[in-house]
Amino acid sequence: MNQEYGVHDPGMPCDHPALEGADVVVMLAWSDLKTEPRSNRFHYAKRFAKYRPVLFVQADGGNGVEQGPLPQIEIIHAPIPTETDCEAYTRRVSAAIRERGFRRPLLWAWDLRTADALRKIPSPFRVLHMTELYLEPACEFAPPKAMIQRMLQSVDMVVTVGDASARSIRNHGHHLGPIEVAWNGCDFKWWSDHRAGLTRPDRRRVVYQGGVNCRLDFDILELIAREAEADLAIAGRFTPDRMTPEEIEAWSRIKRLPNVDYLGELSDEALRTLLGDSDIGIVPFKPGPMISKSVPLKLNEYLACGLDVVSVPIDLPSGHEGICRIAHDRDEFLKRVRAAIASNSTEAEVEARRQAASSVDYDATHAGLLDRIAAQRATSHDGHRHKRRLLLLVDAASMHVGAVRDHVDGLAESSHHVIEVASCTGSVVPKIDLDAYDGIAVHFSVRLSIRDHMSRKWQKAVQEFPGLKLAFVQDEYDSPDLASRYIDDLGIHGVFTCVPLEDVRKIYRSDRVRSVEFRHNLTGYVSDSFRQLPEFEPVETRDLRFCYRGRTLPYWYGDLGDEKRRIGVDVKAACQ
């Protein structure tokens, strides 16, 4: 891979409302980023790196880390997830996020096997980038539909590479959530640096770039080579898997023709030079329902170089219809190629092709997609359409206290999600399958300000849990540095605090909690049990005018702690 391809200095970090609340972009893929510099995965990673650090997770069975094509991109090698087992993969991704001090990743997935990771790793926004037509009935390499449905239910938005793929998800996947189209495009500025498309003084050249594999219609390719009266250059990797013996023999015949130049797999610069020195780019795939709904990357690379394009029917962006020559059968394909060879492209025609390619430049499509994500986030406070299962960890010895019991019951009864309760203090050992939960919340009855109030085995279990982790904390004047240490060690993502948000950093001063999100809440709320009380006695007939609840606190709480007791004593004395 050429490290210079399409790479520019991202300059100073910038921001976008689509990324609000996210401190890193984590991309979940199956592919090797360093071997696919023309894929949308590469281009999206590069452009996200202008805003946030990027962790590009490759599910290749490895466990290492390497530098990506930009300083802001790290490649994380991870175990290969399966349809039924995503646990090791999820733990690897969660650890990579946590070890770098990140807490709020925007998750961007291509790999359909990672639905469980998407569900368990806390994120302000989750996206599935669907590049294949997996839901089409004619798709021969589709994963199980249940896996696709699970992934669709795990994200806030689906991004597709064309209109046909968006319709497929809506019609065959019955998906009701947001779907946005970000066309497969090209790095227009890079490709268009090499002018092409004007008639050359010598023999015309037709070019095909891409894989030489079972998708190609070798009858079309041989017909062009023998009868188009032009040179034919072919650049791409030969992959005979799933090719028939007849196709392999046809490919051998084509390569032997004197006007055919098979160049193999070229570097990016060599490929750009080849396109710039050619006249006509072809997309000679086998026509069919799958190809007609696909968006080949090569199409816009041809157009960016100014080439005349002949293709079988494919999914075309708006504005491309009058630019490309579409052929519905082999004879028509040869006819279109001959017409392109005979024509003399004008400067205006070349410029129109380049303009068509620039309309799907990755800079523009990525920027537009960020705007649409920001709009979606602004109008939806709960992008997830299914209930979550949360485990609330409490101190069982405190459940007899009315305020504690009311708080726990209020959370369980008022939440849209399913909340289950477990004790975690003292010598209690975890006997619950935490993989069954989407998140864990530590209740304030579990004192993070007391060393090992949560049992050490529960501490280890919470540390290793890959999903969302929350904590309710009260009495925050009590050992805040120790509480900060536990918040960090346990990997807590969000804290519900009683401290006014403008004063939070006065209490939680440690750098260990700098990426934790704090939300203000009260120490308690009016219990629903008050609705069951009989009629209240009128105020004017009551014997007591003041009621106060307080207790004597340990000496280390100082004057303010003692004041809590004295308020009741002094007010009673003043009233007598």
Q: Which helix (H) or strand (E) holds 51?
A: none
Q: Would the pLDDT of 401 be above 90?
A: no
Evaluate whether 233 touches 281 at the Cβ level (below 8 Å): no
Cβ-proximal residues to 376 (8 Å cutoff; 6+ apart), any chain? 156, 157, 178, 383
pLDDT, residue 550, reads: 78
Q: Would the pLDDT of 16 be above 70?
A: yes
Mean pLDDT along residues 349-362: 94
pLDDT, residue 197, reads: 44
- Could you tell me the two tokens for 102? 């990140």
Mean pLDDT along residues 350-377: 94
In the chain, what percentage of residues exceed pLDDT 90? 60
**pLDDT band for position 384 (cuts 50, 70, 90):** very low
How deeply is 434 buried, as exposed, middle or buried, from its count of CB atoms within 10 A (0-12, 13-18, 19+)?
middle
**pLDDT band for position 114 (cuts 50, 70, 90):** very high
Q: Would the pLDDT of 161 be above 70?
A: yes
pLDDT, residue 183, reads: 92
Q: Range with the lowest mean pLDDT among 219-228, 347-356, 446-455, 547-556?
A: 547-556
Evaluate whether 449 touches 474 at the Cβ level (below 8 Å): no
pLDDT, residue 3, reads: 35
Torsion sign, CA atoms 58, 21, 518, 515: positive
Mean pLDDT along residues 464-481: 91
Evaluate whether 279 touches 200 at the Cβ level (below 8 Å): yes
CA-based nearest residue to 487, from 528, 527, 446: 446
Q: Would the pLDDT of 383 be above 80?
A: no
Tell me, yes or no, if the pTM score tops 0.85. Answer: no
First vs last Cα of the chain: how many Å apart? 87
In the chain, what percentage of residues exceed pLDDT 70? 95
pLDDT, residue 198, reads: 47
Mean pLDDT along residues 166-179: 88
pLDDT, residue 336, reads: 97
Evaluate whether 42 touches 69 at the Cβ level (below 8 Å): yes
pLDDT, residue 195, reads: 57
Q: What is the pLDDT of residues 443-455, one digit of tens each?
A: 999 999 999 999 9
Q: Would the pLDDT of 242 be above 70?
A: yes
Per-chain mean pLDDT for the chain: 89
Q: How far apart are CA 270 and CA 64, in angstroms?
A: 32
According to DSSP, residue 454 is labeled B
Q: Would the pLDDT of 75 be above 60?
A: yes
**pLDDT band for position 27 (cuts 50, 70, 90):** very high
Q: Which helix (H) or strand (E) holds 374?
A: helix 362-379
Q: How far apart are CA 378 and CA 373, in angstroms?
A: 9
Q: Range with the lowest mean pLDDT among 28-37, 146-155, 189-198, 486-495?
A: 189-198
pLDDT, residue 1, reads: 34
